[in-house]
Chains A and B, each alone.
Chain A
Amino acid sequence: MQTNIILAGVGGQGILSIAAVIDHAALQSGLIIRQTEVHGMSQRGGSVQSHLRISNREIYSDLIAEGTANLILSVEPHEALRYLPYLAPEGRVITSTNPFINIENYPAMDDILSELHRTNRPVLVNAAELALEAGHARTSNMVMLGAAAPYIDIAVEQLESAIEELFHIKGGDIVAINIKAFRKGQKLSQTQETEK
């Protein structure tokens, strides 16, 4: 088993918390992990990505090769498109549909959506809405992680306990709303999957 995930977003949107949860859960599951991060200049509102690879055998490269990503998990719809060359033929795009507009020439949302629909059964998530339902706008990462969970070879319980691990210092309430957000995302992508 080997899963290659491209995590995408804009600096400051918190894709590294998603990575941290998956990493931790994978480690607990005895898997081998490689996960790259972007630090430095691009973090200032620029495009950021993380290559996350988990496997049960040795992983050599920290970077994912083109055409081999099983998932592109993006917290921003325009950013999801930037990494399409990495997507495997049967790979899936799971993205939030909430645009983060900090540039003047941000493309038209309709164009973004139609490009997304050209990929293999994309999972499109209104993460902001689900996060608010869960209890806090800042949980939209966990909504997105939940939406990706059915496509990651790690037990849901492991992922949830990793969320707990990550947020427990911030208190029980924060853990609870993040788990709630995670489950909302998970439910949404399961529903979308059965509808298709």
Chain B
Amino acid sequence: MGKKLLLGAEAIALGALDAGISGVYAYPGTPSTEITEYIQKNNADRETPVRSSWSANEKTAYEAAFGMSYAGKRSLVCMKHVGLNVAADAFINSAITGVNGGLVIAVADDPSMHSSQNEQDSRVYGKFAMVPVLEPSSQQDLYNATIEAFDLSESVQLPVLLRLTTRLAHSRAGVNRTTARIQNTLNAVYAPERFVLIPHHARQQYNLLLSIQKKLEILSEQSWLNRLIPGLGRNGVIAFGIAFNYVMETRQAFNLNFPVLQIGQYPLPRKLIATFFESCDTVLIAEEGYPVYEELLRGYLENGKVKGRLDGTLPRAGELNADIIAKGLGIEQKKVRQIPDIVVNRPPALCKGCGHRDLYEALNSVMGSFTEHHVFSDIGCYTLGALEPFNAIHTCIDMGASITMAKGAADAGLRPAVAVIGDSTFTHSGMTGLLDAINDRSPLTVIIADNDTTAMTGGQQSSATGSKLVEICRGLGVEEHHIRKIVPLKSQLEINMTVLRDEIIYDGVSVVIAQRECIETATRKKRNLAART
């Protein structure tokens, strides 16, 4: 078998397939989306297909994966870093019960926030939950580590967190495959003393989790993901995850041979670290993400050896690269060309012909007549309405927050209170907020921008669109005649403005669903059809 050219995300997918998973559960999110998409595309010809369609959100995904593990089978669950905030309750508690079939959670962090609201570091969650964390540095290592993560999960009976960052998720390299393993058979166990987390059981399970921490540390000492690259001199580098690549790149480019300790499995291998520290006068800590372990290794009172993000040797925020590492190592900076002054930014924008444009045009015209014209919004393509020329929305915090923030503002007395949310975001975590508003009779207008897909992340299937959305709103208790449908098209501008104005003025809960298919997915469908005929 020749090498396959895979994105890091795809290497995880293939690793999971070859590890014999029975299901993948995920909600899309850059840079994690391609893991699940790869499995969806490479599933049809399998003898036993892997369950792989999208979940409503990261929490439902995690819990379903956990249920599959309870039933004895292997499951993979994938999300972007902020997705783990949503799934955190399930994740943390599943470490207390432990797992049955192997359960691996692949979380893709986005340092430098290429496509995210923050650059939180998922390793903190791993530490918080006290489970093993793997952080390989190459596509091949990702593939191998994914397979091992399932074995590890089953041997220690814990979920294993596989952390990667944007550059590795979205970079291709040749990957060699090993042999595929068959899926586990159904093997659900009755173990209420583990899985019913009443305090009495939880205390016991928690003690068990605490007692195996030493064992996890020993496994880290033995792991191939943690290894010493011997060198000369007493100035060493501890390189975590993908930072290893940048450190080795610098070492190669400048013909240096300082010692490097590569870390790719946590909890930290205490002995390896101690020995390395012993042999060095200074240690540069290169971590992609937060200075999580730098802080630990530095110690509250400082031991005088450690350099890194906290003392300015490396920048405190943002992703690393070989240039930053070279600078941190004191290598003289070469002179490079500058970006010419005439170069201007080219920010992302709503596509030409996108329905969100027409929605915002109508909404802006209506909101213009109010003194208070706040629009609470959410995360998706429609967030681009915050930019020129629309400047139509005024908040975007986390998925679902548009409705709940509008509700709180309405409760405070703000009139009108308007929320704009996408179809996928609505089913992800907008529905419960709408229920709150109804129960509380908070006057607000929710505009669901229904483009029939999860557009921002590339057009994945959305959990509920079209008439399903109407039914959901009705079911939650929105009055029938205050669930309105509009078609965001230029030709409909006048009527859309009328509907929006009427519902925004209405002193109760109303929903306006703006329905028009995403121009990207529509064009793609057309093109595929043309290619087939």
Contact = CB atoms under 8 A, between A and B. Distances in A.
Interface residues of A, number: 51
Given A42-B348, A46-B346, A63-B321, A24 B340 contact: no
Given A23-B5, A63-B167, A66-B323, A40 B30 contact: yes
Interface in A43-98: 43-47, 51, 59-63, 65-68, 78-79, 81-82, 84-87
Nearest to A82: B343
The 5 closest A-B pairs by CB, nearest first: A40-B30, A40-B115, A46-B348, A61-B249, A62-B171
8 contacts: A37-B172, A40-B30, A42-B114, A46-B349, A59-B173, A61-B249, A67-B335, A87-B336
A60 B338 contact: no
B167 A62 contact: yes
A78 B7 CA distance: 28
Contacts, number: 148
Interface stretch (A104-112, A123-131, A151-159, A180-188): A104-112
B381 A44 contact: yes
Nearest to B113: A41
B344 A66 contact: no
Contacts of A41: 30, 114-115, 348, 456
| Interface-centre pick from A37, A39, A62 (highest chain B CB count, 10 A) | A62
B248 interface: yes
Given A44-B348, A65-B322, A60 B31 contact: no
B495 interface: no
Q: How large is the interface on B (under 10, 10 to 19, 20 to 34, 35 or more residues)?
A: 35 or more
A115 B114 CA distance: 28
A156 to B, nearest CB: 20
A36 B114 contact: no
Interface of B: 2-3, 5, 7, 30-31, 33-34, 114-115, 167-168, 170-174, 242, 244-246, 248-249, 252-253, 321-323, 326, 334-340, 342-351, 381, 384, 456-458, 531
Contacts of B167: 36, 62-63
Interface of A: 10-11, 19, 23-24, 27, 32-47, 51, 59-63, 65-68, 78-79, 81-82, 84-87, 102-103, 105-108, 111-112, 115, 119, 170
Nearest to A91: B337
A86 B7 CA distance: 23
A11 to B, nearest CB: 7
B337 A40 contact: no
B337 A85 contact: yes
B336 A38 contact: no
